[in-house]
Structure 1
Amino acid sequence: MTTGSTAAVRPRNRKQLIVAAAGRVFSERGYHAASMEEIAGAVGITAAALYRHFPNKYALFAECANLMVDGLVAAIDGVPPEGTLADVLTAVTQLTVTHRASGGLYRWEARFLDRDDRHLLAGKFGHIVERVTEVARREHPLPEGYLRAAAALGAIGSITMHRVSIAQRRLEELLVASATRVIATDPTTPGSGRQVELPTQPAARTRRSEILEAAITLFEQDGFTNVTNAKIAEAVGLVPSAIYRYFPGKADILAAACLQAAGLLAQAVEQNLVGVADPHEAVTTLSATYVAYSFEHTALTSVANAELVGLPPNLRRPLVTAQREHIATWEQHLRSARPALDSRQARILVHAAFGAVVEAGRRLRWQDTPENRDAVAALLVGALGL
């Protein structure tokens, strides 16, 4: 006998559904811009129902940040000790691709975790790198095994940071191949890098440039949300209200600094490619230029990757345009060097190479030496398949 109405049945896996939806929202909007109401809406429940599972946004965020890493630990520990490098990298890649929409949390957003939670997350990621290092050293007994393993994982993790669309099987093949090449690259090979020059950073001679310089330092040290206009003003010797003479708000400061840096990178690429005709040499030059930029603008790059997602669309749009133009330059030269690649494949490999730079740079603590630049450039070129 039916009653004519059916009471809503709460899914048994509601908590998992919440975490999955929250991971996507945090990845798309950033930790601070995302709200519990928005996450509840993505699940199709009320905010009150959401709070029955998680007491606050931070608790939910910490759960999301750990979810991907816990999955990676389980996937990599599921590979038998005698498993091959291909087995290990495939396991990591398949899980990362499956959780592409939310997997970026552990790479960038995790900076918003408390110290103890951040340390716990770092320990889990360290276990993953160690496991890859063991297999890498067995199959490719080259120097800097841990550095190569971290960079290879960065190449795979890059897929969480962009939206280039391609068939899943082909995507996994590209990422595994790229990561494998990184593992097989000797980063200590003499002369693996190329000497390039970057435009000189404009001296902070105006109030506006002083504000930009001070703000990025503060954003990197304390986090964008924790830095107030008053703190920025104090750093440059102004009263808080004076900041508004130069920028409408704090987000405008971040956007302006990123645009200035993007302009420097574009100028560097243009001047270093002058007279370079050979496609392989062009890619090598691009690689050295990008690595030099990454080492010289570490703070800004770190802040941008973590914070830009939370900027208002009108401020983010010019930055996305600048990034696409930069990627297009890479795509053009990479496809000239590797004609078999189509446009999407080339872009995926370029992002993979950037991911390798990020994780290798972190491993080296961004200590700017010629040897470190050469090592990272070699890993970048390896990721591209040249």
Structure 2
Amino acid sequence: MTAEPTASAPAAATRPRNRKQLIVEAAGAVFSARGYHAASMEEIAAGVGITAAALYRHFPNKYALFAECAELMVDGLVAALDEVPSDAALADVLRPLIQVTVAHRASGGVYRWEARYLNREDRRRLGATFARLVGRVTEAVKREYQLPNEDLRAAAALGGIGSITMHHTAIAQRRLEELLLAAALRVVATDLAPGAVPAAAHDVEMPAQPVPRTRRAEILAAAIPLFARDGFATVTNGQIAEAVGLAPSALYRHYPGKVDILVAACLQAAALLAQAVDQNLQDVTDPHAAVVALAATYVAYSFEYTALTSIAEAEIPGLPAELKQPLILAQHEHIAVWEQQLRSARPDLDPRQARVLIHAGFGVVVEAGRRLRWQDAPEHRDAVTALVVSALGLA
């Protein structure tokens, strides 16, 4: 009796030649959605349709895979720019960057927030590659606009483009690319001269820094800078306890676990931002002025509470679903306030377009703030606010 062919024969014949690339793309999406420490090799393997053992034939460990994911988008952006003539118009420089970013939308968060988990050498190499990218855009900005602070404008424009990796608004690709290009071009053309920012931006007030008056509050205040500097997964209970002058076991009298401290930090960030928005929109009736006030409030909040902001943005995806839900709800409520005011000021925008631009504004704040090393000064807040307002199309 002749044996029938086994089911594995066709599978072997159709094994994809680009499996390693498929693994990196799938891993990037998992790392972006769940964070480096929460992601598992088994989950990544399942996303590609292979076993964990097969995955280890391509990458010896999770870190090696993570490092390649972190470099994927930045290397792709540089490769795209290498195809553009050195004297190309700014729009022709930005367009391929936008196309690559949109193509890798699901995995872009790896570079944005998770790169701090790279070792020093890998982080240095990635930073040098990104600096080359910013330098190329800066040259095009300088060539096209004879304006100061061209490096800040270039970084801010790239932040607006990169924002698409941080949210899931569904929108047609061509429409999305056009929105991001128009926003980026407005950003680099922003007038950053003193007095260019509307008066509404100067009237914002921020809630006072929380003063820790209980042991629980002291623990939270000590944990926040540690989480921001080293990442939640890296910080130990012992480090937190030492910062407060407690034995590690004493932490459990105030928080059931380290993740509960993280959730408390994220809730504090959401509450402070909501309080600041309510406070600064209270007497504003004009939609345009309201959007400017929102932009100035978010910028002031980002400069004043940099550690809290970075924790909330970077660590929420890795939280368990039941702990993440109230934080996501707070984020949605915040975006809804922006959307209502922006669409009143710009009736030409539909809800999806408005949300894309709002997130672009947030991305501008992140990269412009980093470029300014988060040095809090009135002129820095004014400049970043002006860049955000331009990204939104209200300058």
- Please give the secondary structure, in 2, of the residue aligned with 1:97: helix
Number of residue-to-residue matches in the alignment: 386
- Residue pair 2:27, 2:65 contacting (<8 A) in 1 also: yes
Residues 176-219 of structure 1, C-alpha deviation per residue, up to 9 Å, x if partnerless? 11111001102234251423111112211111111111001111
Using the alignment, how far apart are the partners of 1:124 and 1:85 within structure 2? Answer: 20
1:339 match: 347
2:62 match: 57
Match of 1:4, as an amino acid? P
2:33 match: 28
Residues 101-148 of structure 1, C-alpha deviation per residue, up to 9 Å, x if partnerless? 001211111111011101111111111111111111111111100000
1:239 match: 247
1:118 match: 123
- Residue pair 2:269, 2:309 contacting (<8 A) in 1 also: no
Deviation at 1:13, TM superposition (A): 1.1
Using the alignment, how far apart are the partners of 2:133 and 2:327 within structure 1? Answer: 33
- Pairing partner for 2:387 from 369, 379, 382: 379
Change (3 A) 1:2 1:136: farther
Using the alignment, how far apart are the partners of 1:145 and 1:2 within structure 2? Answer: 71
- Please give the secondary structure, in 2, of the residue aligned with 1:333: helix
- Pairing partner for 1:108 from 107, 113, 117: 113
1:84 match: 89
Deviation at 1:226, TM superposition (A): 1.5
Match of 2:228, as an amino acid? E
Amino-acid identity (%):
70
- Residue pair 2:266, 2:311 contacting (<8 A) in 1 also: no
Unaligned runs of 5+ in 1: none
Using the alignment, how far apart are the partners of 1:4 and 1:50 within structure 2? Answer: 26
Unaligned runs of 5+ in 2: none
- Residue pair 2:212, 2:221 contacting (<8 A) in 1 also: yes
2:293 is the alignment partner of 1:285? yes
- Pairing partner for 1:73 from 53, 60, 78: 78
- Residue pair 2:196, 2:386 contacting (<8 A) in 1 also: no
Using the alignment, how far apart are the partners of 1:382 and 1:90 within structure 2? Answer: 18
- Pairing partner for 2:100 from 70, 89, 95: 95
Residues 213-233 of structure 1, C-alpha deviation per residue, up to 9 Å, x if partnerless? 100111122221111112211
2:256 match: 248
- Please give the secondary structure, in 1, of the residue aligned with 2:106: coil
2:257 is the alignment partner of 1:268? no
Match of 2:187, as an amino acid? V
Using the alignment, how far apart are the partners of 1:275 and 1:221 within structure 2? Answer: 37
- Residue pair 1:354, 1:380 contacting (<8 A) in 2 also: yes
- Pairing partner for 1:128 from 120, 133, 137: 133
Using the alignment, how far apart are the partners of 2:128 and 2:216 within structure 1? Answer: 41
Q: So what's the TM-score if we normalise by structure 1?
A: 0.97
1:193-342 correspondence to structure 2 within 5 Å: 193-342=201-350
Using the alignment, how far apart are the partners of 2:101 and 2:154 within structure 1? Answer: 16
- Residue pair 2:368, 2:384 contacting (<8 A) in 1 also: yes
Q: So what's the TM-score if we normalise by structure 2?
A: 0.95
2:179 match: 174
Moved more, 285-294 or 4-13: 4-13
2:5 is the alignment partner of 1:4? yes
Residues 304-343 of structure 1, C-alpha deviation per residue, up to 9 Å, x if partnerless? 2222111111111111111110110010111111011011
Using the alignment, how far apart are the partners of 1:172 and 1:43 within structure 2? Answer: 28
1:148 match: 153
- Residue pair 1:143, 1:188 contacting (<8 A) in 2 also: no
Using the alignment, how far apart are the partners of 1:18 and 1:311 within structure 2? Answer: 24
2:46 is the alignment partner of 1:41? yes
Using the alignment, how far apart are the partners of 1:187 and 1:314 within structure 2? Answer: 43
1:160 match: 165
Deviation at 1:2, TM superposition (A): 10
- Residue pair 1:194, 1:284 contacting (<8 A) in 2 also: no
